[in-house]
Structure 1
Amino acid sequence: MKDYEAFYQGLEAALKSPRTLDVSNIFSLYRTRIGENFQSLIDLLPDNGIDAYSRMWLAVKLIENDSVIKDKVPALVSENAWEDIDALLSAINKGNLLTGDCKFQWIDTILAGSVSEPQTEKEIQSKFDRLATSRRWGKAFSDWNYFSGAYCFTGNRVAPYQNNGCCNERNTVWGIFWAGFNRSACFY
């Protein structure tokens, strides 16, 4: 059974001392990507926002064409202000893409300083390992290994298929080692 006590303690500690993220970076990203229309939109919204929603959050949701916010805002601003808001929103093309891009850039900047890959020591390979696993020389080495093993195992220098190499006096431990060491050795 899993123990969630540490998790709950972490949640309680977070609720006792809540922290907020610095939104000045995302605000500047919105102003850069969306332009002056974003600041004008914020200026037309109520100073304290609506309910628990800040002016910037409301502006982003309006740009994203959020239906709940689009229904809520006209009732809480003047008719002239809503007409101006509507005109600003119609001037912004692809609002979802713009705000989404800003959010991802902001998240990247937040995570850039906190997420890092632990440095690991590079595994030191011997010359044999580098040769055997090389893209260029690995196949040639494997073929050489196979044929040298077959040569040592059969003991026949001219024609390895003659004289029934397996019954030859040159079947030494060395020959068996080379034939068995090769990844494609075939005994018949």
Structure 2
Amino acid sequence: MRLLGYTRVSTVGQDPTLQHDALHTAGVQDRDVFSDVTSGAKNATERPGMKKLLAYAQPGDTVVVWRIDRLGRSLLDVLNTVNLLRERDVKIKSVSDGIDPETSSGRLMLGLLGTLAEYERELITERVNAGIAAAKAQGTRFGRPPVDPEVVDRKLAIVAEERAKGRSAEDAASMVGWSRATLYRHLQGAKRRLSAQPG
């Protein structure tokens, strides 16, 4: 069994020393630490350091982090990363949070994390559905594919709101029933409509 470390900071100006020190104290060797300096807007699996870690980790290894939130940009992203590692029989240990899969309390924490993530998924779905219901109540008709520019603009507004919260383009687009390619096509169409307006 190997101990593999992972650190993440959002900008070059942030100092990862605290994270590195915690990993060293936990027994992780320098050669086994994978790091990312990247914006929180990127999903974990899109980061180069995490990609290398996932390619390197083997069944039985333990990934050690300073805090569990280093694994993802949101609760859902953290849970997805945890699940991805566990599917590969790789354990997760968080030094500051006391999450250790070898202990009953650590397993309880991982279970609570899953419950909270499911709750967040439901809240997001409810917010999106409420936005669509409000649009319908105002006379907006949603179709597939939508041909009414007003419908497209309302969906683009929902997507923009979710993107501002740090959600990826693909995740935000799926909330209004679009693929990422469809989202970009509608963004280009909206730009063309705007540029075609007089004045």
TM-score (norm 2): 0.23
TM-score (norm 1): 0.24
Higher strand share: 2
Compare CA radii of gyration and give the structure with the larger one: 1
Higher helix share: 1
